[in-house]
Amino acid sequence: MTKKNVLDEKGVERALIRIAHEIIEKNKGIEDIVMLGIPTRGVYLAKRIKEILKNAEGIELPIGSVDATLYRDDIGMKEKQPVLKETDIPVSIDNKKIIIVDDVLFTGRTIRAAMNVIMDFGRPANIQLAVMIDRGHRELPIRPDYIGKNVPTSMQEAVKVHLKEIDGVDEVIVEHE
Amino acid sequence: MKIKRKDILGIEDLAKDEIELILSTAESFKEVSEREIKKVPTLRGRTIINLFYEASTRTRTSFEIAAKRMSADAVNISVSSSSVVKGETLRDTAKNLEAMNPDCIVIRHFSSGAPHILSKLVKCPVINAGDGTHEHPSQALLDMLTVKEKFGRIEGLKVAIIGDILHSRVARSNIYGFTKLGAEVRVAGLPTMMPYGIENMGCRVFYNMEDAIKDADVIMMLRIQLERQNAGLFPTVREYSRLFGLDAKKLERAKKDVVILHPGPVNRGIEISSDVADGKYSLILDQVKNGVAVRMALFYLLLGGSRE
């Protein structure tokens, strides 16, 4: 197995700072934004973006988590049941701008499921998508609004985002079998 | 970790890590019931049959709500309005239900072992919702979830189960479950209510309620089955209530952070007094709330993955 480092600690930090500023620019401020991370690493990424936004704009955004497991389209097709994680949407999302945060965007199916979860909680003004890595191979018409880094991959490769909070180190690596 | 079995027939068959998986999955499902739209599409298009040969409100409603919150179609069959009154055997009922291609059958039966027979007759998963005096696994799982939520653990706790142990499937399932998770289980009741060889299940036997509850963390009161009053288990209801009913006076001997469970339906003033049943130590309604989450978890784990 070969490993390739595509982002180091500094690279992860720079990418998050850029995403935060693109969020401010695109939304002309950050009022009415709610960030929802996809467990596990999307939630930590959302927390970090929130801190950067707080320093830049002086506003503390509400953040939460969306577990899309129960809305997946492959339930019953996989050999084992995916483990459920936490869904916690702490505020009303009606007429809010929702930013979904995830570590790696791949087929787009998780994001489709996450959007369905969100729609069951209310009617947001819009939904945007921020990802650390876009690795391609989309199977649905889904496109991220904010991208940390585009990493073209083959299907034999796995993209791993490691974060200090759980993995002890900030880095993005591509593994090839 | 996954559930490798086809059916949930009893806690006796379950390994410790399977019980823990069910409990942690159930914890995640509690949040779904607190949403404004209390429904997830997970089991869309699946059919779940509730086959109840015995009266039940709590358990049947709980299974039905759990199925509906998972978007499955729940069909309830109660015996009083089914072909069973015309003399149909369990085997024929099973084969006929199977012909309609259900994805899961939940069965409550007055005979111990009926769910096991059913599970051999049908291809779909079978969940035991109480069979005779044998087991009531989903009840024990919701009891364990309620206790785990309260104390953050089960290992090392002392659990006192009080009442007619001999006829109680709830007691049997809970003894298996709490012992497997490392709790100390005590049982107390009249000698006529103690099954032969109960010590071999790993619990301590008491014939005096005060001793059993003295330093217990959990007191589980069983419903006294008034329909068995003529079976000669106890002289009078009043005497039973005085010896083994839980009231404020007996509770004074218990720990200050004790919790009280009861599987329902409660006979107020017999096995538990009203002030205790409604008091601050009682978790009776938390049990009911957790029941839906536990049953959602069972459906998810049995139907959500494919078993080759």
Tens of pLDDT, residue by residue over B108-120, are: 999 999 999 999 9
Nearest to A71 among B25, B31, B41 (CB): B41
Nearest to B40 among A71, A78, A88 (CB): A71
What would the mean pLDDT of B3-25 be, rounded to a whole number? Answer: 93
Measured between its terminal Cα atoms, the distance across chain A in Å is 5
Residue B8 near residue B63, CB atoms below 8 Å = no
Q: Sheet holding A33-37: strands in order across?
A: A63-65, A33-37, A97-105, A126-134, A146-150
The complex's ipTM works out to 0.81
What would the mean pLDDT of A10-14 be, rounded to a whole number? Answer: 97
pLDDT averaged over chain A? 94
Measured over the CA atoms of residue A115, residue A117, residue A123 and residue A129, the dihedral's sign is negative
The pLDDT of residue A125 is: 97
The pLDDT of residue B2 is: 64
pLDDT band at B32 (very low <50, low <70, confident <90, very high): very high
pLDDT of A33 above 90: yes
Most trustworthy range by pLDDT among A74-83, B30-39, B72-81, B97-106: B97-106
What would the mean pLDDT of B5-34 be, rounded to a whole number? Answer: 94
Range 84-113 of A in CB contact (< 8 A) with B: 84-88
Whether chain B has a CB inside 8 Å of the CB on A28: the answer is no
Do residue A80 and residue B2 have CB atoms under 8 angstroms apart? yes
Nearest to A77 among B43, B300, B306 (CB): B306
Angstroms from B233 CA to nearest CA on chain A: 46
pLDDT band at B305 (very low <50, low <70, confident <90, very high): low
pLDDT band at B217 (very low <50, low <70, confident <90, very high): very high
Closest-CA residue in chain A for B42?
Answer: A70
Copy the structure tokens of residue A2.
Answer: 């070969």
Query: By CB neighbour count within 10 A (0-12 exposed, 13-18 middle, 19+ buried), where does B118 fall?
Result: buried
The pLDDT of residue A26 is: 97
Q: Which fold has domain A2-24+38-74+85-176?
A: Rossmann fold (3.40.50)
C-alpha–C-alpha distance, residues B127 and B115, integer Å: 7
Nearest to B300 among A67, A80, A81 (CB): A81
Do residue B31 and residue A71 have CB atoms under 8 angstroms apart? no
pLDDT averaged over chain B? 93
The pLDDT of residue B46 is: 94
Nearest to A87 among B31, B39, B300 (CB): B31
Residues ≥6 apart with Cβ < 8 Å to B244: B162, B163, B188, B189, B190, B209, B271
Contacts of A114 in chain B (CB under 8 A): none
C-alpha–C-alpha distance, residues B277 and B270, integer Å: 11
Q: For B94-113, write each residue's pLDDT tens digit.
A: 999 999 999 999 999 999 99
Do residue A81 and residue B304 have CB atoms under 8 angstroms apart? yes
The pLDDT of residue B258 is: 97
The pLDDT of residue B225 is: 85
Do residue A78 and residue B305 have CB atoms under 8 angstroms apart? yes
pLDDT of B307 above 50: no
Q: For B244-299, write each residue's pLDDT tens digit.
A: 999 999 999 999 999 999 999 999 999 999 999 999 999 999 999 999 999 999 99
pLDDT of B55 above 90: no
The pLDDT of residue A79 is: 66
pLDDT band at B234 (very low <50, low <70, confident <90, very high): confident
pLDDT of B1 above 60: no
Contacts of B31 in chain A (CB under 8 A): 86-88
pLDDT of B220 above 60: yes
- Which CA distances in Å does B65 have to A3, A72, B32, B33, B247? 48, 21, 12, 10, 33
Count how many pairs of residues, chain A against chain B, have C-beta atoms within 8 Å: 51
Nearest to A75 among B31, B39, B304 (CB): B304
Q: For B152-190, write each residue's pLDDT tens digit.
A: 999 999 999 999 999 999 999 999 999 999 999 999 999
* Interface with chain A: mutation pick from B17, B35, B124, B294, highest number of A CBs within 10 Å: B35
Angstroms from A78 CA to nearest CA on chain B: 6
* Interface with chain B: mutation pick from A40, A81, A121, highest number of B CBs within 10 Å: A81
* Interface with chain B: mutation pick from A69, A75, A86, A93, highest number of B CBs within 10 Å: A75
The region of weakest confidence among A153-162, B83-92, B206-215 is B83-92
Whether chain A has a CB inside 8 Å of the CB on B34: the answer is no
Angstroms from B226 CA to nearest CA on chain A: 42
C-alpha–C-alpha distance, residues B27 and B290, integer Å: 8
C-alpha–C-alpha distance, residues B114 and B54, integer Å: 12
Q: For A139-172, write each residue's pLDDT tens digit.
A: 999 999 999 999 999 999 999 999 999 999 999 9
**Structural domains of chain B, ranges and CATH numbers in brackets:** 16-135+291-303 (3.40.50.1370), 137-287 (3.40.50.1370)
Closest-CA residue in chain B for A118?
Answer: B37
Please state, for a pLDDT cut of 70, what percent of chain A lies above it: 98
